[in-house]
Amino acid sequence: MIRKKSIEDIDLKGKKILMRVDFNVPLDNGNVRDDTRIRAALPTIEFLLKNGARLVLVSHLGRPKGEKTPELKLDPVAKRLTELLGKRVEKIDYTIGPEVEARVASMNDGDILMLENVRFYREEEDNDSDFARTLAKPYDLFVNDAFGTAHRAHASTAGVAEYIPALAGLLMKKEIEELSRCLEEPGRPLTAILGGAKVSDKINVIRRFLELADNLLVGGGMANTFLVAAGYNLGASYHEQEQLSLASDLIATSKISRCRMVLPSDLVVTEDLKQNSNYKVLAPEEINGNWKAVDIGPKTFTMFGSIIKESSMIVWNGPLGVFEVPPFDRGTAEVAAAIAESSAYSVIGGGDLVAALEKLKLSDQIDFISTGGGATLEFWEGKELPGITALKDK
């Protein structure tokens, strides 16, 4: 288990703290459309304020590529955080410099301030050491609660830790504990469910769970690549032609590993990927012509449900069909419902799947939902994440 010092381990009163949050949230006409990531940071923010810290938040929003982009300013985020906290969150139009230093110097215990989008500075993503030093200058401590960006070696995720002591926030601590538990103390049988479009995005996670899990259930576009590698035609279905050899190797590995790889036995297919377009349910060997596989079929999600019911722990990353285009959301919805009803300990790895669970109103029936997308996958792969490595060891 990775053990890092957290905000619970020190006296916070009067400390000027720079806290990295992941407030990269969707905006709609100047308002926050989904505040899941903001709410995830509330326990750490409230803990710091209650314990007398002078708290300054820094985040990115979107991909401004070093340009000061008006529609990516953090004002709507500060407004939403003010509503959630019930306490005014002042926002300033700078991230570094004399204006920031003067404002931080005038703060009192329990005050909270939000800086401007850190990606308005090109030096952020370059992890420029001068920028990181300037960013760290007004503060006593750095707190990282942005697990979703922990796989990035940026100035505000790793660079500042060269200049001031770095601690884990409560969310970061929880992410490390829960994701480590899946790898180091898994309940048996352990069932891993992997979806999403591409095998290439998840090669190392597939390998890891073929070593670790008892069952690996595969859906989404990546299942098409495995099925084509297994010799099926699949008509006009999306698949990664350049990954077929690798997919064949992974299928062969599964046959000699402890882990049973389960591919779809039926698929929902359509000729026109649009909402409520005509579709059929076919076995893989029946698909041809212009038909494309866009979801797992009823036999498959029923089979997946039976395996889930017998599992003690479930980890899941990636939707199992084109979830955003009904009715091709049914496979994901049925599997989510099976997990919610099961007694297994469930851990969901972020990204598109979080939005799907929110839409299905099943989030509160999952034991742990990671706020990371790429970070969760890289953690499960066993990679070192710069944002975690930079934190002080316990």
Query: CA neighbours within 13 Å on the CB side: how many for 223?
Result: 31
- The per-residue pLDDT for range 175-220, each reduced to its tens digit, is 999 999 999 999 999 999 999 888 888 899 999 999 999 999 999 9
| Set 16, 181, 374, 392: catalytic member | 374
37 catalytically annotated = yes
| Set 159, 351, 373, 387: catalytic member | 351
Below-70 pLDDT ranges, the chain: none
198 catalytically annotated = yes
Provide the H-helix boundaries in 71-187: 75-85, 98-105, 122-125, 129-136, 170-184
79 catalytically annotated = no
Domains and CATH numbers, the chain: 7-171 (3.40.50.1260), 178-381 (3.40.50.1260)
| Set 37, 54, 152, 202: catalytic member | 37
3-state class percentages of the chain: helix first, strand second, coil last, to nearest 5 = 40, 15, 40
Write down the pLDDT at residue 161.
97
Contact in structure between 394 and 388 (CB atoms under 8 Å): no
Write down the pLDDT at residue 34.
85
| Set 16, 87, 181, 198: catalytic member | 198
351 catalytically annotated = yes
